[in-house]
A = this chain, B = another copy of it.
Amino acid sequence: MDPIGWAYVSVGAGVAALALAAYSALRVMASPAAGERVQEPAGAIRDGAMAFLLREYTWAAAFVVIMSVLIFTLLDWGWWGTVAYVLGAVLSAVAGLVGISAATAANTRTAEAARQGGVRRALPVAFRGGAVAGFSVAGLGLAGLGFAYLVLHEWLEVADAVEMITAVGLGGSTVALFACVGGGIYAKAADVGADLAGKLEAGLAEDDRRNPAAIADSVGDNVGGVAGFGADLFETYVGSLVAPIVYAAFVFGTSGLGVRAVVFPLAVAAVGTAASILGSFAVRPRGVKLAAALHRGTYSAAVLTLLGVFGLVYWVFDGVEGVDHPLGLFVAVAAGLVIGLAASRISEVFTSDHHRPVKEIARQSGAGPTPVVLEGISDGMRSAAFSISAVAAGVAGSYWAGSWAIPESGGFYGVTIAAVGVGSILAITASVGAFAPIADNASAIAQMSREPSRVREATDSLAALGGATAPAARGFAAGSAAVTMLALLVAWRELVNSAAASAGRGAVLDTINVLRPGTLVGLLLGGGCVFLIAALNVKAASRAAGRMINEVRGRFREGPGSRKGRAWAQLANRVNVPAGTVLRGLLLPVVMAVALPLSIGFIDVQALGGFLVGALVTGLLLAVSMVNAGGAWSNAKKLVEVGAYGGEGSDAHEAAVIGDTIGDPFKDSAGPALNVAVKVMMMVSLVFASAFVG
């Protein structure tokens, strides 16, 4: 088969994923909608989520315009580059919109299915809602990138086409930055506000209809957990494909090996997507273990991907000059999947209530908030140390495998292929990730519309399932992001050197040598920049939560009437996270993630190398720490709420809620924001590489 055929296959696989998303959406819509009582809160949630998403996209659009001008003026790519960039941005935005629409349709239907048939009927509805989001992300990413590659490849030189492919990635990154950072701040302000003012102070249960922040909390689940998380994954996915394409094009050139190595990542992604489609059919509740149903989907997709790639490497690379052992590239893909599963497993051990860390935090809650917080922070950092060790081992393994496969410069190709490997089954892992907020929403809706306890028990157990499986999905995403960042760093070196060569200069970036003073300074600044972004994000979420708490208190002070329940729409309108607060929290991190690499790159491209490395290593560690600490606190609180160490209303519960509210901005706002910000830095550096050295 002509290697370029694989690009067509990838477009086909992307379209198939979109078809599955459409099918899942139809199945969700075909599920009976709920009665009017349920429609009311659900409608408020949908309207709130859509309104915020559109506002976010407006800001993002303004930023896209600025970046388009920069791309058009600083790079001599003509219109092609700008079009590619806008394409990436639009695809990511569409994925977010589709995801939110599906999630806000699936949440009431999940609640209704729970009413009609319990957990067993509700789980598939919620999962299909998640699948719409997950498969849209993967489908749009794969089809879009494959399409862009085919078009650009048709009209331009390979090197130019590949360079412009990076613009697609940057487009996705831009939208992800806004969706993830903005959505995270919104979500956590609402969550913390609802918990602190509603639960602790007013003594209301979770999602009590009298808690005026309950709607905002559910809106937050959607804009943060569906749109934000989806945008983050879209960015990682596209980035994981861009890295090997760039690397292969510039290192292996237009040789037979080069042409094949460029399309191989697309082929792997096509296989992984097909496997995810099959895997998604394995998700149906059997027996008593609900979590097993979700895990079955991921694991079967992983196994099918490995089987497919085993054949693929021989099909693509057998007998190609320069390739000694095609099997090595299979090992690289496997190493990537192992990193993802290891990171996912580490997150699970540290954040699930079946394992020691969370149990220990819950136990400590009897001793007050201090040990709860210290224990959680400590566990978060510990999990980050383990995660990064897994990534390090995976990098070493995939480098070795790549060198074994392609002795000449194949090592780092192996690392970039590992990134593709871990991203390959994104469709299914993203579906599992998006399942959690839908289940949470369904539980909130059941609570708000005062369904009988039988129904609430069903939706609660779905929500608990989401709480238990989300960390694994997030861990997988973090592992995927980590390898992708490393792959992008490696690809960046090749792009810079090749750009320098075409500008008539020698290789300007043979090494990123930390013992060179400029690089050392860059390294320190990169690490500092990550800490600053995290600091600003936490502060923004905390401040926004403070405003939210004041609002809720104000509502309660207005008289006993407001405690007794009012019309949903009214409440939703009254108590909302102020968009201005969220925007202010967004601005500085966005500017830093884009402007700093740009300006450092123009001054000294090697210093930019140091900057990226510093940002990468601190960003990985800090993000995983924050996400896992937050997850652990959240599940420890749930353990206490189901009765451990005193249960609801006890001092232990108060301590556990404090831990949970500290962890909320960590796990859903700052942690993901760091991940996205570092990827944006990488993407900006990639796109503007030729301007830096031109």
B371 and A369 form a contact (CB under 8 A): no
B621 and A395 form a contact (CB under 8 A): no
A621–B520 Cα distance when bound, in Å, is 15
Q: Would you list 26 pairs from A and B whose C-beta atoms are within 8 A, ordered by A residue?
A: A370-B661, A373-B373, A373-B662, A374-B539, A375-B539, A378-B534, A378-B538, A381-B531, A381-B532, A381-B535, A382-B531, A385-B531, A388-B525, A389-B524, A392-B528, A396-B517, A396-B518, A396-B521, A511-B516, A513-B513, A523-B617, A524-B617, A527-B617, A527-B618, A617-B618, A658-B658
User: A residues 383-403 with Cβ under 8 Å of B?
Assistant: 384-389, 391-393, 395-396, 399
A665–B377 Cα distance when bound, in Å, is 12
A517–B369 Cα distance when bound, in Å, is 43
A396 closest partner in B (C-beta): B521
A371 and B546 form a contact (CB under 8 A): yes
Task: Tell whether A528 pairs with B384 under 8 Å between CB atoms, given A369-B369, A395-B520, A520-B395.
Answer: yes
Distance in Å from the Cβ of A506 to the closest Cβ of chain B?
A: 16
- Which DSSP category, helix, strand, loop or mixed, fits chain A's interface? helix
Please encode chain A, from 362 to 373, with 1 for each CB lying within 8 Å of some chain B CB and 0 for all others.
Answer: 001001111101
> A248 on the interface (CB 8 Å rule)?
no
> A625 on the interface (CB 8 Å rule)?
yes
> A549 on the interface (CB 8 Å rule)?
yes
A545–B617 Cα distance when bound, in Å, is 32
A398 closest partner in B (C-beta): B517
For A371, A389, A395, A493, which residue has the most chain B Cβ atoms within 10 angstroms? A371
Return chain B residues, CB-CB under 8 Å to A200.
368
Distance in Å from the Cβ of A153 to the closest Cβ of chain B?
A: 28
User: A residues 615-651 with Cβ under 8 Å of B?
Assistant: 617-618, 620-621, 625
Return chain B residues, CB-CB under 8 Å to A518.
396
A389–B592 Cα distance when bound, in Å, is 14
A523 and B613 form a contact (CB under 8 A): yes
Instruction: Give the B-binding residues of A (Cβ under 8 A).
Output: 192, 196, 200, 364, 367-371, 373-375, 377-382, 384-389, 391-393, 395-396, 399, 411-412, 415, 486, 489-490, 493, 511-518, 520-521, 523-525, 527-529, 531-532, 534-536, 538-539, 541-542, 545-546, 549, 609, 613-614, 617-618, 620-621, 625, 658, 661-662, 665
A200 closest partner in B (C-beta): B368
Return chain B residues, CB-CB under 8 Å to A493.
515
Distance in Å from the Cβ of A512 to the closest Cβ of chain B?
A: 4
Task: Tell whether A392 pairs with B513 under 8 Å between CB atoms, given A384-B528, A535-B381.
Answer: no
Distance in Å from the Cβ of A250 to the closest Cβ of chain B?
A: 14
Task: Tell whether A658 pairs with B370 under 8 Å between CB atoms, given A381-B534, A513-B512, A525-B388.
Answer: yes
Return chain B residues, CB-CB under 8 Å to A529.
385
A658–B658 Cα distance when bound, in Å, is 10
A517 closest partner in B (C-beta): B399
A527 closest partner in B (C-beta): B617
A626 closest partner in B (C-beta): B377
Return chain B residues, CB-CB under 8 Å to A549.
367
A13–B511 Cα distance when bound, in Å, is 44
Task: Tell whether A395 pairs with B521 under 8 Å between CB atoms, given A531-B384, A531-B625.
Answer: yes
Across the A-B interface, the 3 shortest Cβ-Cβ residue pairs: A381-B535, A385-B532, A511-B513
A483–B558 Cα distance when bound, in Å, is 57
A522 closest partner in B (C-beta): B392
A377–B373 Cα distance when bound, in Å, is 12
Return chain B residues, CB-CB under 8 Å to A412.
517
Q: Which of B370, B393, B525, B539 contacts A192 (CB 8 A)?
A: B370
- For this chain, the copies found in one complex come to 2
A489–B514 Cα distance when bound, in Å, is 10
A537 closest partner in B (C-beta): B378
Return chain B residues, CB-CB under 8 Å to A368.
196, 200, 658
Distance in Å from the Cβ of A413 to the closest Cβ of chain B?
A: 12
Return chain B residues, CB-CB under 8 Å to A621.
527-528, 531, 618
Distance in Å from the Cβ of A615 to the closest Cβ of chain B?
A: 10
Distance in Å from the Cβ of A412 to the closest Cβ of chain B?
A: 8
B517 and A371 form a contact (CB under 8 A): no
A539–B490 Cα distance when bound, in Å, is 37
A542–B523 Cα distance when bound, in Å, is 33
Given contacts A369-B369, A370-B658, A374-B542, 20 further A-B contacts (CB under 8 A): A364-B546, A367-B546, A368-B658, A371-B546, A373-B662, A378-B535, A379-B535, A385-B528, A387-B528, A388-B524, A388-B528, A389-B525, A392-B525, A392-B528, A396-B518, A396-B521, A489-B515, A511-B516, A515-B609, A524-B617
A385 and B535 form a contact (CB under 8 A): yes
Return chain B residues, CB-CB under 8 Å to A513.
511-514
A662 and B374 form a contact (CB under 8 A): yes
A520–B388 Cα distance when bound, in Å, is 12
Return chain B residues, CB-CB under 8 Å to A486.
520
B524 and A395 form a contact (CB under 8 A): yes
Distance in Å from the Cβ of A375 to the closest Cβ of chain B?
A: 6
Q: Which of B364, B374, B538 contacts A541 (CB 8 A)?
A: B374
Return chain B residues, CB-CB under 8 Å to A527.
388, 617-618, 620-621
A373 closest partner in B (C-beta): B662
Return chain B residues, CB-CB under 8 Å to A520.
395, 486
Return chain B residues, CB-CB under 8 Å to A512.
513-515
For A489, A513, A527, A539, which residue has the most chain B Cβ atoms within 10 angstroms? A527
B381 and A662 form a contact (CB under 8 A): no
Q: Which of B374, B396, B613 contacts A665 (CB 8 A)?
A: B374
A382–B378 Cα distance when bound, in Å, is 20
A615 closest partner in B (C-beta): B617
Return chain B residues, CB-CB under 8 Å to A662.
370, 373-374
